[in-house]
Amino acid sequence: MIRSGLHEVGRLDLSTKKNIILVQMAGFLGLVASAFLFLQAAILLRPDIPTEASFTFSGMEGLVAIAAGLAVFAGAVLVLVVVHEGVHAFFFWLITGERPRLGVTGFYAYVGAPPGVTVARNRYFGIALAPLFVTTVAGLFLLTVVPLIVLPPLLLILILNAAGSIGDIIVSGWLLRYSPSVLVGDQGIAVVVCRPS
């Protein structure tokens, strides 16, 4: 919903079939790139990381190890979603002074502006890209101080956050085609660009 006095000049809906496929393909490339970059950063920042390891599991020990790995993965994903969307929500509130809308659609959670709330394009970049930058900076710091046992889930969170930010990066890149004077309405699954009537 666009408030009165504005007219829509552009819309990007990431929930269309075509855009879902494009975001998923870009997300996979982002996953590979972020895995490589964060693993390199971890090796650089933590010379105490063993570079070789071998694991042999059998019987019940193997099943317990697999279950523990799946639990760590599920926990990391849950932490990631809460942190990523929480950072979006905090920056929405900080920039607009309004409580954002939280939602879930399909397989992803989202934060959007309340109906009728728009943000200047350049300020919107802060909302869209904050989880990528805040989580990356905090995570790189944590890489230098956490015990080795915490590194795998921390790296997993950093990698998945960067890959999961691909939609935010795509939206921000798309918005660059518009003047800084436009207003952006984030509807959670779609972004609307407006100008005064």
Q: Would residue 55 count as lying in a domain?
A: no
Structure tokens at 107: 């397989």
pTM, 2 dp: 0.84
Confidence of residue 142 (pLDDT cuts 50, 70, 90): very high
Q: Would residue 53 count as lying in a domain?
A: no
How many structural domains comprise the chain?
1
Q: Would residue 183 count as lying in a domain?
A: yes
Confidence of residue 138 (pLDDT cuts 50, 70, 90): very high
CA distance 61 to 74: 20
Confidence of residue 110 (pLDDT cuts 50, 70, 90): confident
Q: Would residue 51 count as lying in a domain?
A: no
CA distance 130 to 151: 23
Of 157, 100, 102, residue with least CA distance to 124: 100
Q: Looking at this protein, which amino acid is placed at residue 129?
A: L
Q: Would residue 95 count as lying in a domain?
A: yes
For residues 77-93, give the mean pLDDT.
Answer: 90
Structure tokens at 194: 């407006």
Residues 6 or more apart whose Cβ sits within 8 Å of residue 175: 121, 124, 125, 182, 184, 191, 193
Q: Give the pLDDT of residue 15.
A: 79
Alpha helices in 46-120 (DSSP H): 59-96
Residue 122 sits in which domain range? 6-45+67-196
Of 56, 88, 98, residue with least CA distance to 188: 88
Tell me the three state secondary structure of residue 183: strand
Q: Would residue 73 count as lying in a domain?
A: yes
Q: Would residue 75 count as lying in a domain?
A: yes
Instruction: Kindly report the number of other CB atoms within 10 A of residue 164's CB atom.
Output: 21
* Beta strands at 183-186 and 101-105: parallel, antiparallel or unpaired: unpaired
Query: Contact at 8 Å (CB) between 195 and 7?
Result: yes
For residues 66-92, give the mean pLDDT.
Answer: 87
For residues 5-34, give the mean pLDDT.
Answer: 89
Q: Give the pLDDT of residue 57.
A: 64
CA distance 165 to 171: 10
How far does Cα 72 stand from its chain's mean position? Answer: 19
Q: Would residue 1 count as lying in a domain?
A: no
The full length of the chain comes to: 197
